[in-house]
Amino acid sequence: MGLLKEFREFAVKGNVMDLAIGVVIGAAFNKIVTALVEAVIMPLLGKLIGNPDRFSAWELGGIRIGILLQSVIDFIIIALVLFLVVKAVNKFRNRRPAEPEAPAPPTPSEVLLQEIRDELRKK
């Protein structure tokens, strides 16, 4: 019974649950990013440079090096899209209404006048 109780405590700890939620959301976000890259970015790139999948057919001595090159290009595009999405989210998150400026600290002469006023009130 001790092992089962220990496992239950481990599985329901906040960090494990946060990690599980992060993995599930990450998988769903991966689908969104992949769809964006495949449906929007790659067709636009295809119009600029021709068929973007043309690298995958490259071979070097019978080794299909093009598949690796295509994967690297896909990774760079996906990383760029993720960077732009995170940057936009951070910009949106950090946008807060302008806080009113704090009043300026009193000048030395104002401080002196306040001290004189306080001394006169004591009398």
> What's residue 97's pLDDT?
64
Kindly report the three-state secondary structure assignment for every residue of the chain.
CHHHHHHHHHHCCHHHHHHHHHHHHHHHHHHHHHHHHHHHHHHHHHHHHCCHHHHHHCCECCECHHHHHHHHHHHHHHHHHHHHHHHHHHHHHHCCCCCCCCCCCCCHHHHHHHHHHHHHHHC
Q: What is the CATH number of domain 2-98?
A: 1.10.1200.120
**Domain assignments of the chain as residue spans, ordered by start:** 2-98
Report residues of the chain scoring pLDDT below 70.
1, 14, 52-55, 96-98
> What's residue 78's pLDDT?
79
> What's residue 30's pLDDT?
82
Centre a 10 Å sphere on the Cβ of residue 74 and count the other Cβ atoms it contains. 19
pLDDT digits (tens, 9 = 90+) for 31-63: 887 888 778 877 787 787 777 666 677 788 888
> What's residue 10's pLDDT?
74
